[in-house]
Amino acid sequence: MRRSLSRLAVAISLVLLAASCGGGGGTGTEEATPSPCVTVTPGSDGSPTPTPTPCPVIDATGSPSAEPTDEPTGESWKGTANVTTSAVWPGAGTCRDGWELEFTFGVGSDGTIEGQGTGELTSAPTCPFPITSPSWDHVEIQVLGEEIGGGFSLRFALVSFEPADGATYAGFVSMFGGGTLPLVGSPVVVAVTGTSGTGEGMWQIEAAAESASGTVEVSPA
């Protein structure tokens, strides 16, 4: 069952030890268990100290809605993104996984872009420690952005994920801006030539040592 993001306040367990959702690090022999969202503040010795805080929900004006939008209107496009992600867990090592996104979007008369899509886990997470919670394997996304000279500027927004009790151990959440409102990632510029377009996306949450990168391709729907 698709779960809206408004239900993930307790379950959006990632974005490690930074201003996003995450799990604590560990040693190579400890079990890794995702934690609630955290805020990182300086400790007495100056090192970052995570403090649990409620996970955000998307309900602010201008933020992605809790459910995918209807079919796009206006000029219609479709696209894919093949993404690899990584996250460094302090004291434990690096987790990696891979995703494929498929989406459609419409371009309004004012150049505004709205659309929706899905993401499927294509490469299961590999981590240097045991994983005790199931990994996310499906997400619902929104596509936002605008038409620019020679192409599009696209942003992806997280709407929901499955399984509901799952976690993401690598850097997939960096595509969506981490644990701050709204959950919308940085833009990727897609250059269009003729009837196809390509762009190289790179997303990063520096404080959590999380990143994602991949090729975004679009064509008329």
What 8-state DSSP symbol labels residue 168?
-
For 70-123, how does the pLDDT look when each residue is reduced to its tens digit (9 = 90+)?
Answer: 444 458 999 999 999 999 999 999 999 999 999 999 999 999 999 999 999 999
Instruction: Look at 195 and 99; give whichever has higher pLDDT.
Output: 99
pTM greater than the 0.85 cutoff: no
Q: How many structural domains comprise the chain?
A: 1
Structure tokens at 166: 């799952």
Q: What is the mean pLDDT of residues 43-57?
A: 43
Instruction: Return the biggest CA–CA distance within the chain.
Output: 58
CA 86 to CA 97: how far, in whole Å?
7
Helix, strand, or coil here: 138? strand
Grade residue 184 by pLDDT with cuts at 50, 70 and 90.
confident
Are residues 85 and 16 in contact, defined by beta-carbon separation less than 8 angstroms? no
Q: Other CB atoms closer than 10 Å to residue 17's CB: what's the count?
A: 22
Structural domain range at position 36: 5-220
Instruction: Look at 55 and 174; give whichever has higher pLDDT.
Output: 174
To which H or E segment does residue 190 belong? strand 188-193
